Amino acid sequence: MAPLVISVFRWLWLAQLASNVGSWMQSVGAQWMLVNDRNAPLLTALVAAASLAPVLLLSVPAGVLADSLDRRWLLIVSNGFMAVAAAVLAVATWAGDASPVVVLVLTFALGCGSALGAPAWQAIQPDLVPRYLIPSASAITSANINIARALGPALAGALVAWAGPALVFAINAVSFAGVIGALALWRGSPVARGSVGMAPAIASGLRYVRNAPGVRRIIFRAAVFVIPASALWALLAVIAHRMMGEGSSGYGVMLGALGVGAVVGALILPWLRGRFRNNGLLLAATGLYAGTMLGVAFARSLALSLALLLGAGLGWVIVLSVLNTAMMLTLPAWVRARSLAVYSLVFMGGQGAGSALWGVVASAVGPVATLVVAAVAVSVGLVTMALWPLYRSTGSLDREIVAMPESAPDQALPASAGPVLIQIDYKVKDDHVQAFERALRALATSRRRTGATAWDLWRDVADTSHFVEQYTLATWGEHIAQREERITGYDRELERQALALAAPDPRVRHLVRPEHMPRKDRGIAVADTQNRGKIP
Domain coordinates in residue numbering, the chain: 2-387, 420-530
| pLDDT recorded at residue 311 | 93
| Topology alike, domains 2-387 and 420-530 | no
| pLDDT recorded at residue 530 | 44
From residue 268, give the alpha-carbon distance in Å to each of 274, 285, 318, 440, 455. Answer: 10, 13, 9, 43, 46
Bond before 135 cis per omega within 30 degrees: no
| pLDDT recorded at residue 248 | 66
| pLDDT recorded at residue 525 | 45
Q: What is the DSSP string of 447-489?
A: HHHTT-SEEEEEE-SS-TTEEEEEEEES-HHHHHHIIIII-BH
Q: What is the DSSP string of 351-403?
A: HHHHHHHHHHHHHHH-HHHHHHHHHHHHHHHHHHHHHSPPPTTTTTS---B--
Closest CA to 375 of 273, 299, 300: 299
| pLDDT recorded at residue 124 | 81
Supply the DSSP symbol for 514. Answer: G
- Across 390-407, b (16+ Cβ under 10 Å) vs e yields bbeebbebebebbebebe
Spell out the CATH class of 420-530.
Answer: alpha beta
509, containing H or E segment: strand 507-511
CA dihedral 229, 234, 240, 242 (to 10 degrees): -120
| pLDDT recorded at residue 373 | 93
Supply the DSSP symbol for 211. Answer: T
| pLDDT recorded at residue 426 | 95
| pLDDT recorded at residue 529 | 43
Spell out the CATH class of 2-387.
Answer: mainly alpha
Max Cα-Cα span within the chain: 87
From residue 509, give the alpha-carbon distance in Å to each of 451, 513, 527. Answer: 17, 13, 6
| pLDDT recorded at residue 127 | 76
Question: For the chain, which residues score pLDDT lower than 70?
Answer: 1, 32, 34-41, 44-45, 48, 149-150, 188-197, 248, 404-412, 516-536
pTM of the model: 0.75
3-state secondary structure of 23: helix
| pLDDT recorded at residue 434 | 93
| pLDDT recorded at residue 528 | 45
